[in-house]
Amino acid sequence: MEDLFQSLPKLLRAAGESEEVLEAASFAAWRRVAGEALRGCAVPFRLYNRRLIVSVPDTTWRKQLEQVSPQLVFRLNSLLGQPVVTYVEFRVDPQTVREERRRLGRTQYERLDAEEAALGRAAELDDAAHAIHDEALRRRFLLAAGSCMNRREK
């Protein structure tokens, strides 16, 4: 798979301006750049006029991803080896996200759903979590605390 991504810029140059090839390449690059964490929550939908349209489940996801959009565009184009994407537009489209989650498989969807529920529950601990400066550690703390709170309720 790594070889495919290394040869992607050459393939795009050889394909020219084919919209279908550019869209397929940008979708593959998006999945690589977004990684596992976003795979079931931010689904590439269409590439139109160098604008990548990505479906998200709700406005919270849209707002969060809009904040890092410039970094995502940079990483996408770096991976593609040329400026294929000039802008990422996040659209609230829960149906497309649900279909992608179904496609990814039930176990991964359940994990994502449980994480969302845990993070939602852990919002009560936001003040305490702000004392944790390491972002990854803060997220793990909130996931663990939220999961624990959910288990106690059951």
* Amino acid residing at 48: Y
C-alpha to C-alpha distance for 6 and 12, rounded to whole angstroms: 11
Domain ranges of the chain: 2-101, 105-153
- Asked: is 2-101 a CATH 3.40.50.2300 domain? The reply is no
Please tell me the predicted confidence (pLDDT) of residue 22.
84
pTM for this entry: 0.63
Q: How far is CA 148 from CA 32, 125, 141, 145, in A?
A: 31, 12, 11, 5
Please tell me the predicted confidence (pLDDT) of residue 1.
46
- Among candidate residues 76, 152, 82, 90, the one with its CA nearest the CA of residue 121: 152
Please tell me the predicted confidence (pLDDT) of residue 24.
86
Q: What is the 3-state secondary structure (H, E, C) of the chain?
A: CHHHHHHHHHHHHHHCCCHHHHHHHHHHHHHHHHHHHHHCCCEEEEEECCEEEEEECCHHHHHHHHHCHHHHHHHHHHHHCCCCCCEEEEEECHHHHHHHHHHHCHHHHHHHHHHHHHHHHHHHHHHHHCCCCCHHHHHHHHHHHHHHHHHHHC
Digit-by-digit pLDDT tens for the chain (154 residues) are 455 556 666 666 666 677 888 888 888 889 889 888 788 889 999 999 999 999 999 999 999 999 999 999 999 999 888 899 999 999 999 999 988 888 776 555 566 666 666 555 555 566 666 667 777 777 777 677 666 666 655 5
38 Cβ contact partners less than 8 Å away, ≥ 6 residues apart: 65
Look up residue 8 and give its two tokens. 């992607």
Please tell me the predicted confidence (pLDDT) of residue 36.
81
Please tell me the predicted confidence (pLDDT) of residue 14.
67
Contact (Cβ atoms closer than 8 angstroms) between residue 129 and residue 142: yes
